[in-house]
Structure formats: structure tokens, C-alpha cells
């Protein structure tokens, strides 16, 4: 998952249709890369209150079936848009790994967790090719507006299986490949069918598809 500047994997940057840094190198590489070093700028974008109307964070977290004591990893956490809700869902005895590859974002995640009193949120500075999560530790990996930012996705997703506990799942939310009032241009999007095919090729099976979002597909996978 290499990027122009070891960029964060949070594809929500495309909320404003930002310009890609370079074209993808291969069919399973990212369709867009961005520089997320300006944390204040991206915080204004990612945490815009208007986002709630279409991102529906409560519905997304509710559909994950989280229970107190579980461990969830928000892969591409960015500024922590989902973290407070995830922290509440898993409770004080659960853990939320807030994963990002941009050091400034990870510092922001730590400060936000302290400000919001979410002691169960653990910021993680990931590497471009691995989320740097402990093996067999995660019940749910959440990848929101991020999948199309991953490079060498098949290898990345296959390796991601090692972090899942038995019965663990991977939930992907990304943009429908058609013109929309928010999000990136169509050429940066991946069709739903391609996401399913790639996940199946990486050893997962589609086990759920909550229909709660107006502009994005929501797919839940489990290792086969």
C-alpha cells in the first residue's frame, strides 16, 4: 500500500474529489493517492457535520454487530470520524485500533482519544504494506472509503487474514461506481463486483451486505 508520501489510507479524502498523485501501476493497485500531511485541512473535510447525513456512522457501526469486549480495527482511521462510536460499541473492556499510515494523523488520533475520553482507542502507525496489528487479535476490520486507496490489494488482503480471530470479519464501505453528489470522480472508484472478486481471490467469502448507505456499498466478508 505505497503512496505518494506514505499517505493515509483513508479514501474519504475523495469527499472533495481531490486529484490523484499518479495513475495506478497495476490492476490491483490504488486508483488514487493523496498527501494527508495537512491534518487540520483533512479534519475539516473528514469531520464535516454534513458527512453524517450520507455516511450514516451510527447505522454503519450498528450493522457490524459489535459487542462489549470485542476488538475492532478501523483501517484508515484518518482523523477518527468513527472512533467514538466504535469505542462505545465495544465498551470499556473492548479495544479500537485506529490505524493510519500518516504520522500526523496518528498523533491527531491520540489527541482526539484523550480529548473524547476514549481510553480504549489505540492509535497505530501502520506501514504501507501492513496494518501492524497483532496476529489473531481482531474481531472486525472496518475499511471505510479506503479500499480503493490500497495498493497490491490481493497480497495486502490475504495477509490481513492473520490479524483476525476465529470468526473474524472484514467490513468494506466504498463508493458506488457512478456519478454521485459526493465522493471522487468515477475513474477513482471500484465497482462492487470487482471488490467482491478481489476479496474472494484473497480467500474471503461475502457473508453480508447491509443496505444502509445511499452512495456506497457495504460488504462484510469472512475468511474461507
DSSP state of 94: S
Nearby residues of 130 by Cβ (< 8 Å), 6 or more positions away: 156, 159
Number of domains, the chain: 1
- Bridge partners of 181, per DSSP, are none
Task: Write out pLDDT tens, residues 3-61.
Answer: 333 333 333 333 333 333 333 334 776 555 566 665 666 566 777 999 999 999 999 99
Instruction: Tell whether 1 is covered by a domain.
Output: no
Q: Does residue 3 lie within any of the structural domains?
A: no
197 within domain boundaries: yes
> By residue range, what is the domain housing residue 36?
11-223
SS3 assignment, position 164: strand
User: Which grid coordinates are listed for 56?
Assistant: 450514516
**61 CB burial (10 A radius; 0-12, 13-18, 19+):** buried
pLDDT tens for 53-88 read 999 999 999 999 999 999 999 999 999 999 999 999
- DSSP codes joined into one string, 3-44: -TTS----GGGGGGTPPPSS--SSTTS-S-------HHHHHH
The answer to whether residue 141 sits within a structural domain is yes
Amino acid at each position: 500500500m505505497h503512496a505518494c508520501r506514505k499517505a493515509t489510507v483513508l479514501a474519504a479524502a475523495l469527499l472533495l474529489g481531490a486529484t490523484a498523485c499518479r495513475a495506478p501501476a497495476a490492476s490491483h493497485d490504488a486508483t488514487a493517492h493523496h498527501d494527508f500531511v495537512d491534518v487540520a485541512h483533512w479534519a475539516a473535510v473528514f469531520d464535516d457535520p454534513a458527512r453524517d447525513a450520507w455516511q450514516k456512522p451510527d447505522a454503519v457501526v450498528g450493522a457490524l454487530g459489535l459487542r462489549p469486549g470485542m476488538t475492532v480495527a478501523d483501517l484508515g482511521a484518518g482523523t477518527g470520524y468513527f472512533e467514538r462510536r466504535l469505542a462505545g460499541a465495544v465498551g470499556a473492556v473492548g479495544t479500537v485500533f485506529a490505524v493510519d499510515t500518516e504520522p500526523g494523523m496518528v498523533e491527531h488520533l491520540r489527541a482526539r482519544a484523550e480529548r473524547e475520553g476514549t481510553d480504549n482507542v489505540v492509535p497505530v502507525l501502520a506501514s504501507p504494506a501492513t496494518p501492524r496489528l497483532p496476529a489473531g487479535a481482531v474481531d472486525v476490520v472496518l475499511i471505510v472509503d479506503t479500499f480503493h486507496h490500497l495498493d497490491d490489494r490481493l497480497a495486502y488482503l490475504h495477509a490481513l487474514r492473520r490479524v483476525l480471530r476465529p470468526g473474524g470479519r472484514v467490513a468494506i464501505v466504498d463508493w458506488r461506481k457512478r456519478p454521485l453528489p459526493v465522493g471522487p470522480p468515477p475513474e477513482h472508484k471500484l465497482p462492487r463486483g470487482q471488490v467482491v472478486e478481489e476479496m474472494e481471490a484473497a480467500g474471503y467469502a461475502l457473508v453480508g451486505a447491509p443496505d444502509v448507505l445511499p452512495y456506497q456499498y457495504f460488504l462484510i466478508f469472512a475468511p474461507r
